[in-house]
Structure 1
Amino acid sequence: MSQPRIFGSVDELRAAVGEQLGWTAWQEVDQKQVDLFAEATGDHQWIHVDPEKAALGPFGGTIAHGYLTLSLIPSLTPQLFTVEGVRMGVNYGVNKVRFPAPVPTGSRVRATAVVDDVSEVGGGFQLVTRVTIEREGGDKPVCVAETVARFYL
């Protein structure tokens, strides 16, 4: 894991466009987390929550929901960067998301991000980052998302 990059101004963020911001620590995605996500969302598809049936399925066991993998981003990105001198930051949306590979339950994942764009918006600025989550031992990313955050001064 690299140290989080600290951005103290919009100009520092603009200067970082195109830069990769290191890697987070590895984080395990276990069956309990998958089951809790299924409860929270109502998505109880067997490939996620039925280990016996999933063992006979295409992945040889249960896998995390794609949206569970996506939902890890807010807990992972603070390990990559922080923005100082703002009143608050909010998730504004996602422009594009792909799940190129599954996350077998019990896998460890980590993330990296690239600053794609910084633009001014009323009262602050908008930051677009391309976040890539990979699985330990995997050959393809498990999630690639172009996230949009707004920071208010």
Structure 2
Amino acid sequence: MTAIETARAELETKIGTEIGVSDWITVDQAMIDTFAEVTHDHQWIHVDPARAAAETPFGGTIAHGFLTLSLASKFSYECMQEMPGQVMGINYGFNKLRFLTPVPSGSRLRGRFTLTSVRQRSESELLREHKLTIEIEGHDSPALVAEWLGLSVFSDTPG
């Protein structure tokens, strides 16, 4: 069997199962401010703690939704391993993404991954779909839920 055939067969047995849960990371005001600088998104609900405390129902600033989403890559590195013969992984996008709960500054987040599908796109590519849930410590509702697509590229050597 080739490496891609071996990987596909192994992944197919894991469809519907949780692949991994990352460690917690704290999203503090410094991280939010840095993200605002990089993205040029300085909306006051993210960067003005006094105003956010006085004028929002959140009690203070909240993380940008895209900051929360950007942590998905960090979480995936902790939860997913390259398979034998895989030469690279490529972010292929999202089928669906919902921001469900605002993330208050100082919150701890983690990612939870469940494999939902895998299909071979070519002789060297597997397209994997994961349900990604980014959880907020102490909250019943997650920060976001997404259907995340990843392309795994393999060499053509036997597995």
TM above 0.5, yes or no, is yes
Q: Please state if 1:32 is matched with 2:44.
A: no
* 8 Å CA contact 1:89, 1:149 repeated in 2: yes
Q: What are the within-5 Å matches in structure 2 for residues 70-89 of structure 1?
A: 70-84=69-83, 85-89=85-89
Kindly provide the CA deviation profile for residues 106-149 of structure 1, in whole angstroms up to 9, marking residues without a partner as x: 10011111101101112211010011011111110101111111
Counterpart CA distance in 2 for 1:14 and 1:69 is 29
Contact 2:20 2:80 (8 Å CA) reproduced: no
The yes-or-no answer on 1:10 pairing with 2:8 is yes
Higher fraction of helix = 2
Q: Counterpart of 1:82 in 2: which secondary structure?
A: coil
Which consecutive residues of structure 2, in runs of 5 or more, have no partner in the other structure?
1-5, 155-159
Moved more, 8-17 or 96-105: 8-17
Q: Is the 8 A contact 1:114 1:131 kept in 2?
A: yes
Larger of the two Rg values belongs to structure: 2
Share of identical aligned residues, percent? Answer: 45
Indicate the structure whose relative CO is greater, using CA pairs within 8 Å and at least 6 residues apart: 2
Aligned partners of 2:50 and 2:10: how far apart in 1?
A: 51
Aligned residue pairs, count: 146
Alignment gaps of 5+ in structure 1: 1-7
Deviations 1:26-65 (A, max 9, x none): 1100111111111111111100000110111120100001
